[in-house]
């Protein structure tokens, strides 16, 4: 098994190398770089000359956009990354690792809560829908799940904001803290509750978006299991329908569920770019979107490598979980 893990890790390193090269090339080829974005106004009103801009580009290492130049700067990025230094974010003026570690936890918290909610809601719903296939419950749940999955996150966010915040005033519209309230320094509970109140809508959006997929996945797997021969054997033994479904079928349904859900765990650190942006939540996704728009290459690289590592480790975890939950699987 350890040989398998080592093999997978080595393969992952190769994938990460390819990913980094591709992203570096793409971000260097963006038509307007960070300096262009920052100086376009000054250049237009004459407070800066083209020479100043060029000097700045030289300073930031963005001057040479030839293929050879990109390769050279990629090489230097790679060397410093391997030594653990992801560089300085242009936009945030801090080391990239620091920006990531500062903002990732809020995103993780939001994602974790909605992940737990989504799992707890979707799995029982999927099982019940499968047991009552083509019944009223099945159709109702499926339709709502499909609606939830089909809605774009920005649309659902906008809808909830409009109805629940603007019209009904139940929840704050955006941000993480109320700007209008001044808290005492030691009012930790109030500050915490205020933040939690701000997070209700984003978490709701992420949960609603995720429930549909997990529910359908559970339902499909459950149906497949319920039609299998060993379920008929279990019934022929005289077991009650509940034992058949919740013991014999459920254990088998859990195999693909656990593996796919555990594969999603690392991804929870990645941030929800669109939802965080719509709600102006200062999470890692929001920071990354801003950095990408501005052409902040060190941060784009750092963030995307972070995502790539999360994805690769998610896949590895998922494969390892197969071995844990399914006695038939031996990894070698």
Partner 1 sequence: MGMMKIFKRKKIQGIDDTHYLTLKEEIRISKENNKIIRQFERRKARRNVDESEYLTQMRDPSNVVEFDELHTYFYTEVGTVKAVNGVSFDIPEGKIIGVVGESGCGKSVTSLSLMQLVQAPQGQIVSGSIRYKASDGKCYDVTKMPTSEMLKIRGKDIAMIFQEPMTSLNPVFRIGEQMDEVVLLHDSSATPESARKRSIEMLNLVGIAMADKVYSSYPHELSGGMRQRVMIAMALSCDPRLIIADEPTTALDVTIQAQILDLLRSVMNRINGSIMLITHDLGVIAEMADEVVVMYAGRIIEKGSVREIFHNPRHPYTIGLMKSKPGKATQGERLYSIKGQVPNPINMPDHCYFYNRCDHRMEICSKAYPEMLQFSPTHFSSCYLYDENKVGDTKNVKESE
Q: Which is nearer to partner 1, 112 or 231 (CB)?
A: 231
Give residue 251's region: left, alpha or beta (phi > 0; psi -120 to 50).
Answer: alpha
Separation CA 269–CA 122 (nearest Å): 21
Q: C-beta of 208: minimal distance to partner 1 in Å?
A: 31
Q: C-beta of 243: minimal distance to partner 1 in Å?
A: 8
Residue 236 sits in the site that holds partner 1 (CB under 8 A): yes
Separation CA 20–CA 317 (nearest Å): 22
Q: C-beta of 27: minimal distance to partner 1 in Å?
A: 47
From 13-21, 161-169, 189-197, 231-239, span contacting partner 1 (CB under 8 A):
231-239
Q: C-beta of 145: minimal distance to partner 1 in Å?
A: 23
Residue 192 sits in the site that holds partner 1 (CB under 8 A): no
Residue 239 sits in the site that holds partner 1 (CB under 8 A): yes
Taken as a whole, the chain contains a residue count of 332
Residue 235 sits in the site that holds partner 1 (CB under 8 A): yes
Contacting residue, 163, 228, 246, 324, with partner 1 by CB under 8 A? 228
Residue 139 sits in the site that holds partner 1 (CB under 8 A): no
Separation CA 281–CA 24 (nearest Å): 27
From 47-55, 216-224, 237-245, 299-307, span contacting partner 1 (CB under 8 A):
237-245
Residue 40 CA from chain centroid, whole number: 33
Residue 251 sits in the site that holds partner 1 (CB under 8 A): yes
109 burial (CB, 10 Å; 0-12 / 13-18 / 19+) is middle
Separation CA 324–CA 267 (nearest Å): 21
- By three-state DSSP, how is residue 88 classified? strand
Q: Measuring CA to CA, which residue among 306, 278, 300 is closest to residue 288?
A: 300
Q: Measuring CA to CA, which residue among 109, 62, 71 is closest to residue 282?
A: 109
Positive or negative, the CA dihedral 167, 170, 176, 178 is: positive
Separation CA 253–CA 240 (nearest Å): 18
**Helix 284-294, helix 297-325: angle, nearest 10:** 140
Residue 326 sits in the site that holds partner 1 (CB under 8 A): yes
Contacting residue, 241, 246, 293, 324, with partner 1 by CB under 8 A? 241
Q: Which is nearer to partner 1, 138 or 296 (CB)?
A: 138
Q: Which is nearer to partner 1, 233 or 293 (CB)?
A: 233
Distant-in-sequence contacts of 227-235, Cβ < 8 A, 24+ apart: 228/252
Contacting residue, 155, 183, 230, 246, with partner 1 by CB under 8 A? 230
Is residue 34 within 8 Å of 88, Cβ to Cβ? no
Q: Which is nearer to partner 1, 12 or 254 (CB)?
A: 254
Contacting residue, 73, 252, 262, 294, with partner 1 by CB under 8 A? 252
Contacting residue, 248, 266, 307, 308, with partner 1 by CB under 8 A? 248
Residue 233 sits in the site that holds partner 1 (CB under 8 A): yes
Contacting residue, 35, 100, 199, 234, with partner 1 by CB under 8 A? 234
What is the residue whose two structure tokens read 């089909």? 150
Name the residues that contact partner 1, by CB under 8 A.
228-230, 232-241, 248, 251-252, 255, 325-328
């Amino acid at each position: 098994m350890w040989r398998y893990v080592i093999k997978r890790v080595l393969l992952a390193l190769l994938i990460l190398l390819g990913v980094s090269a591709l992203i570096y090339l793409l971000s260097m080829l963006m038509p307007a770089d960070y300096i262009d974005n920052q100086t376009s106004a000054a250049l237009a009103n004459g407070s800066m000359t083209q020479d100043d801009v060029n000097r700045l580009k030289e300073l930031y290492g963005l001057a040479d956009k030839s293929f050879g130049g990109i390769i050279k700067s990629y090489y230097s990025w790679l060397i410093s990354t391997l030594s653990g230094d992801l560089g300085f974010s242009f936009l945030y003026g801090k080391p990239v690792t620091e920006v990531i570690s500062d903002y990732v936890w809020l995103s993780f918290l939001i994602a974790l809560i909605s992940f737990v909610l989504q799992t707890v809601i979707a799995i029982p719903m999927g099982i019940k829908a499968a047991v009552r296939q083509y019944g009223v419950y099945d159709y109702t749940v499926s339709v709502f799940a499909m609606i939830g999955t089909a809605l774009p996150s920005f649309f659902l966010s906008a809808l909830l904001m409009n109805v629940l915040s603007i019209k009904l005033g139940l929840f704050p519209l955006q941000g993480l803290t109320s700007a209008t309230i001044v808290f005492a320094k030691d009012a930790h509970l109030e500050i915490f509750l205020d933040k939690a109140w701000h997070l209700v809508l984003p978490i709701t959006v992420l949960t609603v978006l995720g429930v549909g997929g997990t529910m359908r996945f559970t339902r499909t797997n459950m149906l497949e299991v319920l039609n299998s021969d060993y379920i008929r054997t279990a019934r022929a033994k005289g077991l009650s329908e509940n034992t058949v479904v919740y013991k014999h079928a459920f254990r088998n349904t859990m195999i693909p569920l656990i593996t796919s859900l555990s594969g999603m765990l690392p991804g929870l650190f990645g941030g929800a770019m669109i939802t965080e942006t719509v709600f102006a939540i200062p999470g890692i996704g929001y920071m990354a979107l801003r950095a990408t728009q501005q052409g902040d290459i060190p941060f784009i690289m750092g963030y995307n490598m972070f995502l790539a590592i999360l994805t690769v480790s998610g896949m590895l975890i998922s494969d390892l979980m197969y071995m844990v939950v399914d006695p038939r699987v031996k990894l070698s």
